[in-house]
Chain A
Amino acid sequence: MTFFRKLRLARLRQPILLCALVICQGCTSVAPWERGTLAKPEMSITPDPSLTGLRDHIFSSKEGSQGGHGGTGGGCGCN
Chain B
Amino acid sequence: MKTFLLSALLLLGCSASVYAVQEGSSVPGCPAALPGNNEKLDFGAYKGKVVLVDFWATWCPPCKKSMPFINGLRNERLKDGFEVVAINVDENTEDALRYLEAHPVDYVTAFDASGECPRVFEVKAMPSSYLVDKQGKVRAIHLGYRDEDQDAIRKQVDALLGE
Which A residues form the contact surface with B (CB < 8 A)? 31-37, 39-40
State the Cβ distance, B138 to closest chain A Cβ, in Å.
18
Q: Which residue of A lies closest to B61 (CB)?
A: A39
Q: Are B115 and A31 in contact (CB under 8 A)?
A: yes
Instruction: Report how many residues on chain B are interfacial, defined by Cβ distance under 8 Å.
Output: 15
Does B23 touch A at the CB level, under 8 Å?
Answer: no
Chain A residues near B91: list those with CB within 8 A: 36-37
Interfacial chain A residues near B90, Cβ < 8 Å: 36
| Distance of B122 from chain A, by nearest CB (Å) | 9
Least CB distance from A10 to B in Å reads 27
Chain B contact surface mostly: loop
Which residues from chain B sit less than 8 Å from chain A, CB to CB?
Answer: 55, 57, 59-60, 89-91, 115, 118-119, 123-126, 128
A36 adjacent to B57 (CB under 8 Å): yes
Q: Evaluate whether A39 and B115 lie within 8 angstroms (CB atoms) in the complex, with A32-B124, A32-B126, A33-B55 already known.
A: no
Which of A31, A32, A39, A40 lies at the interface centre, i.e. has the most chain B CB atoms within 10 A of its CB? A32
Distance of A39 Cα from B90 Cα, bound (Å): 12
Task: Tell me the nearest residue of chain A to B112, going by C-beta.
Answer: A33
Cα A32 to Cα B125 in complex, Å, equals 5
- Complex CA gap A34/B55 in Å reads 12
Most interface-central of B57, B90, B124 (chain A CB within 10 A): B57
Whether the pair B55, A35 counts as a contact (CB closer than 8 A) is no
**In the bound complex, what is the Cα–Cα distance between A33 and B32 (angstroms)?**
14
Pick the 10 closest A-B CB pairs, nearest first: A39-B59, A33-B118, A33-B89, A36-B59, A32-B126, A36-B91, A32-B125, A33-B115, A33-B123, A32-B123
